[in-house]
Structure 1
Amino acid sequence: MTTNTQAQHWDIFCAVVDNYGDIGVTWRLAKQLSAEYQLAIHLWVDDLASFSHILPALDPSLPQQMFNGVTIIKWDQPLSIGYTPGAVLIEAFACDLPQEVFDQIENCRQQDTFISPLWLNLEYLSAEPWVEGCHGLPSLQNSGLKKYFYFPGFTNKTGGLICEHALASERDQWQSDPQYRQQLFAQLGLEGISDADKVISVFSYETQALTSLCQQWSQSDLNIHALIPKGRSLNCLASIFGAELEAIQAGQAIQYGALTIHILPMTDQDGYDRLLWSCDFNIVRGEDSFLRAQWAAKPFIWHIYPQEEDYHLIKLDAFMQVYCNNLSPEIASTWQALNLAFNQGDTKRVITHWERLNLVDLPLQQHAKQWPIDALIDADLARRLVQFVKNR
């Protein structure tokens, strides 16, 4: 292997933990690094079946295939496709790399032209203040290699946020013409949605707070459409659907007073972005959807993954403090209280704060539009990552 070839070759390993969250982040990063920096990205994934839900053209039975310029390799044990070291080795979210990786690096060290790959652990996104102090720190491993901890974040002392260079202009063009929204709804088989109706996308974990909101929406003076895929969000609406829940299929629409619940088909990442752009409000979970909701420039609720001793609420509060930094106290407290009530499953308070949200709807929309501009600061994650590698 020549050093020039090695320099253009990066490996990313991803163990799929929560169906779509981890692979959602790494797939977006891999695509952007390939498209915008002409890097030869090898994305190793241990669960291609889950991956195929957000990349429908992917064949889970194939050991290797290419999409968007990225070579996708099945990460099985032992590796059926040999690992060849490149310039960068990224383990996504502290996944345990296979021993074959380190064995091959050791074998290649005997070559005069070989340079050991820069080893990075891509951490989860957090707005907590301690992230700044830990970003970029090295740790010497038993293999003799240094591993650097790369923390995405919301300040210029962190690794930044994943955002493609053309995303904002594509979103603005989409949102400037209502026809795009109607065309998307037609493609998804969603009928009966007028431009005057309120449209809410829902991609959450199970919570009775969602059931309460649906009951509240059903009594609205406006027509409300909730767009929900089959899965965890839909499962917590058993009290609404009853025994029919198991038989519900994508494409169905269920009338519930003023609320129409549309069952969404799964879509790829570009399609999900456009869905978020097309809704008036988005309820999202995990990390990938959470960030894409911010780039959609629409108000949202973040249903963060529950952790022991309610540590997830500390992470939620840290983000809300950053997000609400330039908001008036009235707007900030309303939005924060709504997010907290939803995450705590508080069925009464979530309704109260949803009703209060209407009083601050316009300024909250204006803030959501300005936020993506403020959040990116001077560079996105991919650009900072490439520079981080060059500096070392």
Structure 2
Amino acid sequence: MSHSSDRATSLAIFCKVVDNFGDIGICWRLARQLQREHGVAVTLWVDDLASFRRICPQIDVALGVQQAAGVTVRHWGGQDGSFNPGEIADIVIEFFACDIPPGYIAAMAQCQPHPVWLNLEGLTAEEWVEGCHQLTSPRHGMIKHFFFPGFTDKTGGLLREAGLEQRRRQFQADPLAMQAFLSQFGVTPGEMAALKVSLFCYPHAPVAELLAAWEAGSEPIVCLVPEGVAFDAVSRFIGADAVAGVSHTQGALTVRVLPFVAQDDYDKLLWVCDVNFVRGEDSFVRAQWAGKPFIWHIYPQDENLHHVKLRAFLQRYAFDADGAIDSLIEASECWNGARVAGQGWAPLWTALRADMPRIAGRAGAWQAQMHDNGDLAGNLLAFARLPR
């Protein structure tokens, strides 16, 4: 690599925000971890600072360049701008084939040696990933490498910062800390004794049907949903606009709308809930590190390609020593529209609830298995620093 031994490795991440908070969530986690744990000088280029600000409130949307958590954040606007070779990072990451500025690429080509150029791909459990991980592609007189996160030791692994598991265990071993965390959202001591579910999904999820099943059930359930998520369905249940701070109890169900929280607090929400509904990639990975039962709402793709990705994951995840966990597979497929819930959500939920101890056991075993693959940031940096 082109950095000298007397200065920190420099690294640039280019992020275009497509999936609201998922893309920037992943890139922000990666940037912070590389800076904190590996001493890398990170510049994060982002095209949508407003979305970034939702998960990192200190971001000023009016600034073209700013510092946040030791990371240089630059707004990636419409103007390409010109770059000098001295401004180019040692390692350049484009997230999910986002086409970094032509001027930056031209300046990369002038560097000797060339920067290590990585395309950090999206997460999938499909088997073909293992064969494509670390493959090369000639570009503009340079070599780009494809780097895939994944669920096996033949991939780059999953994002996981050092100390995450220790923080989770300490938090979950402290009932007062968990109670204090929930009470800031208005959760009462009585509600804390109920089954707690976090709900984070895309608008097309069958939320109204699920809420109706919970409402008509016999078990008290508290559903904690971030503001703006499933807005229409939650508003209908509450009988008013689903804005942060409002709540409503009907039948066995209480729904509470939470303010959008920073990433570290979202982790605590996953840790304190009994079941987590998550979406996209970032919250999906955090749910796996939480070690709790979860249902994944995958980002929709044309021609239902996301159903292929969903089933590839379930083929790995929803099986234990006794075979397929049918309730988890069926509920996951119905939640994503890959299967019709013929009898409605009440029997789906009843079956899922009955299997919850088994699903929790699988969640813990899976978490340990993923831990053994190493962490994405460390694996990526080790690959980038290989002699070339």
TM-score normalised per structure 2: 0.93
Once the two structures are TM-superposed, the CA of residue 382 in structure 1 deviates from its matched residue by: 1.0
Range 16-25 or range 220-229, more displaced: 220-229
Q: Which amino acid aligns with 2:346?
A: I
User: 1:8, 1:87 within 8 Å by CA — same for their partners in 2?
Assistant: yes
Number of aligned residue pairs: 382
| Residue 85 (1) aligns with residue 85 (2) | no
- Equivalent positions of 1:20-99 (< 5 A) are 20-79=21-80, 82=83, 84-99=87-102
| Residue 376 (1) aligns with residue 364 (2) | no
Residue in 1 aligned with 2:381?
386
Secondary structure of residue in 2 paired with 1:306 = coil
Residues 252/81 of structure 1: CA separation in 2 closer, same or farther (3 Å cut)? farther
Once the two structures are TM-superposed, the CA of residue 115 in structure 1 deviates from its matched residue by: 2.2
Once the two structures are TM-superposed, the CA of residue 307 in structure 1 deviates from its matched residue by: 1.3
Residue in 1 aligned with 2:228?
231
User: 1:152, 1:159 within 8 Å by CA — same for their partners in 2?
Assistant: yes
Secondary structure of residue in 2 paired with 1:53 = helix
Once the two structures are TM-superposed, the CA of residue 187 in structure 1 deviates from its matched residue by: 2.3
**Which ranges of structure 2 fall in alignment gaps of 5 or more residues?**
none
Return the match for 1:165 from 155, 162, 166. 162
- Equivalent positions of 1:1-392 (< 5 A) are 3-4=4-5, 8-79=9-80, 82=83, 84-106=87-109, 108-109=110-111, 114-141=112-139, 143-191=140-188, 193-207=190-204, 209-237=206-234, 239-241=236-238, 244-245=240-241, 248-329=242-323, 332-344=325-337, 346-347=340-341, 348-391=343-386, 392=388
TM-score normalised per structure 1: 0.92
Residues 54/193 of structure 1: CA separation in 2 closer, same or farther (3 Å cut)? farther
Secondary structure of residue in 2 paired with 1:52 = helix
Percent identity of paired positions between Structure 1 and Structure 2? 41
Residues 378/342 of structure 1: CA separation in 2 closer, same or farther (3 Å cut)? closer
Secondary structure of residue in 1 paired with 2:296 = strand
Matches of 1:81 and 1:212, distance apart in 2: 53
Matches of 2:353 and 2:373, distance apart in 1: 33
Residues 6/134 of structure 1: CA separation in 2 closer, same or farther (3 Å cut)? farther
Residues 144/364 of structure 1: CA separation in 2 closer, same or farther (3 Å cut)? same
User: 1:11, 1:90 within 8 Å by CA — same for their partners in 2?
Assistant: yes
Provide the alpha-carbon RMSD of the alignment: 2.0
Matches of 1:90 and 1:77, distance apart in 2: 19
Once the two structures are TM-superposed, the CA of residue 6 in structure 1 deviates from its matched residue by: 7.1
Matches of 1:346 and 1:115, distance apart in 2: 55
Once the two structures are TM-superposed, the CA of residue 181 in structure 1 deviates from its matched residue by: 1.5
Range 371-380 or range 36-45, more displaced: 371-380
Once the two structures are TM-superposed, the CA of residue 79 in structure 1 deviates from its matched residue by: 4.6
Range 202-211 or range 345-354, more displaced: 345-354
Matches of 2:270 and 2:238, distance apart in 1: 25
